Amino acid sequence: MSTDADVLEKRRFRRELRHELEAIRGRWPWLIALGVVLVVAGTLAISIPMVASLTTALAIGVLLIMGGAAQLVGAFWTRDWSGFFLVLLMGVLYAVLGVLFLNRPLDAMAAITLLLACGLLVGGAFRTIASAWYRFPQWGWVFVGGLLELALGLMIWVGWPASSLFIIGLFVGIDMIWSGWTWVMLGLRMKDLDARHKAHHPTTPPAAAPPAAT
Give the 3-state secondary structure of residue 104: coil
Q: What is the pLDDT of residue 29?
A: 78
Q: What is the pLDDT of residue 193?
A: 67
Q: What is the pLDDT of residue 23?
A: 58
Higher pLDDT, 35 or 26: 35
Distances (CA, A) of 132 to 121, 138, 177: 16, 11, 32
pTM assigned to the model? 0.63
Q: Is the dihedral of CA 61, 67, 71, 72 positive or negative?
A: positive
pLDDT at 209 over 70: no
Please give the backbone phi and psi of residue 110, each rounded to the nearest 5 degrees, phi first. -65, -40
* Cα–Cα distance for residue pair 13/6, rounded to 1 Å: 10
**Each residue of 46-81: pLDDT tens digit?**
888 888 888 888 898 999 899 889 888 887 787 667
Q: What is the pLDDT of residue 161?
A: 79
Q: What are the residue boundaries of the structural domains of the chain, listed by start?
A: 27-196
